[in-house]
């Protein structure tokens, strides 16, 4: 019973965060769709390159809506101990998880192509803009600080950057012993969805017994 209550509260808090994140993404997506010039001005070459492959605004709106629905179902299902809603929450997560696995398989098949494309887009931006363009510098600093990583590949991405030319050393994030490539850190986020699926099914099975 104590374990059930703990997981129930954890589930509510976790999905409340998902709901908030969904609202933020939805808001940003609407902003990008309505006023894309200001978005391009803030994020510069990175956003311009990304928009060549996908409409960022619509993508963020779709992702925000999905997270809002997931967050609501998770919170409501856990709070009301509604088995139908919990099962729906689990089913949506399962579909997303399967889709991610399928995408991962496709990514593995085309790994070298994907890596070359990303390398071509991202690394030149670091080499030309990091340490010179404040917006690009801030985005990378936040990314490296949040994920405890260094560059897209490693510290060598910054070798020819304005930052190294100006200060004669690499960003401080690259000096920590536990830093790895940021591309590797981003690939590990799928584990969170698996944990949420397990907790939702536990609550589903225990609702009538609690």
Note the Cα 161 to chain centre separation in Å: 26
Residues of the chain with pLDDT under 70: 1-2, 36-56, 106-119, 176-191, 193-210
Helices (H), the chain: 2-34, 36-50, 56-80, 83-109, 111-129, 134-147, 162-167, 182-186, 191-206
The fold for domain 112-186 equals Cd81 Antigen, Extracellular Domain; Chain: A (1.10.1450)
pLDDT score recorded for residue 52: 47
**DSSP state for residue 149 in the 8-state scheme:** B
Query: What is the distance between the alpha carbons of residues 30 and 117, in angstroms, rounded to a whole number?
Result: 28
Contact yes or no for 11/197 (Cβ under 8 A): no
What is the predicted pLDDT for the residue at 209?
55
For residue 177, the model assigns a pLDDT of 45
Q: Identify the DSSP state of 126.
A: H
pLDDT at 54: 47
Predicted model pTM: 0.48
Looking at residue 114, its pLDDT comes to 56
Structure-token pair, residue 54: 């996908």
Report the distance separating Cα 185 and Cα 84, nearest Å: 35
Residue 144 — left, alpha, or beta (φ > 0 → left; ψ -120 to 50 → alpha)? alpha
pLDDT of the residue at 132: 87
**Where do the structural domains in the chain lie, given as residue ranges?**
2-98+190-209, 112-186
Beta bridge partners of 149: 180
3-class state of residue 43 by DSSP: helix
CA distances from 15 to 31, 117, 143, 158, 197 (A): 24, 34, 23, 38, 12
* Coil vs helix vs strand at 115: helix
């Amino acid at each position: 019973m104590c374990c059930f209550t703990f997981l129930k509260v954890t589930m509510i808090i976790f999905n409340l965060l998902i709901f908030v994140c969904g609202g933020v993404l939805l808001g940003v997506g609407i902003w990008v769709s309505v006023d894309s010039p200001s978005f391009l001005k803030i994020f510069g070459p990175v956003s311009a390159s990304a928009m060549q492959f996908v409409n960022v605004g619509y993508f963020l709106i779709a992702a925000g809506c999905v997270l809002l629905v997931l967050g609501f179902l998770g919170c409501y299902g856990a709070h009301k101990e509604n088995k139908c809603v919990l099962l729906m929450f689990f089913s949506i997560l399962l579909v997303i998880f399967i889709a991610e696995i399928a995408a991962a398989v496709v990514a593995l098949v085309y790994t070298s192509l994907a890596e070359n494309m990303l390398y071509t887009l991202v690394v030149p931006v670091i080499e030309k803009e990091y340490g010179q363009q404040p917006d690009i510098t801030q985005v990378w600093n936040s990314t490296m600080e949040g994920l405890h990583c260094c560059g897209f590949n490693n510290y060598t991405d910054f070798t020819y950057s304005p930052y190294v030319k100006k200060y004669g050393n690499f960003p401080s994030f690259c000096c920590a012993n536990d830093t790895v490539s940021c591309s590797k850190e981003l690939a590990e986020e799928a584990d969170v969805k698996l944990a949420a699926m397990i907790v939702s099914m536990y609550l589903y099975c225990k609702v009538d017994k609690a």
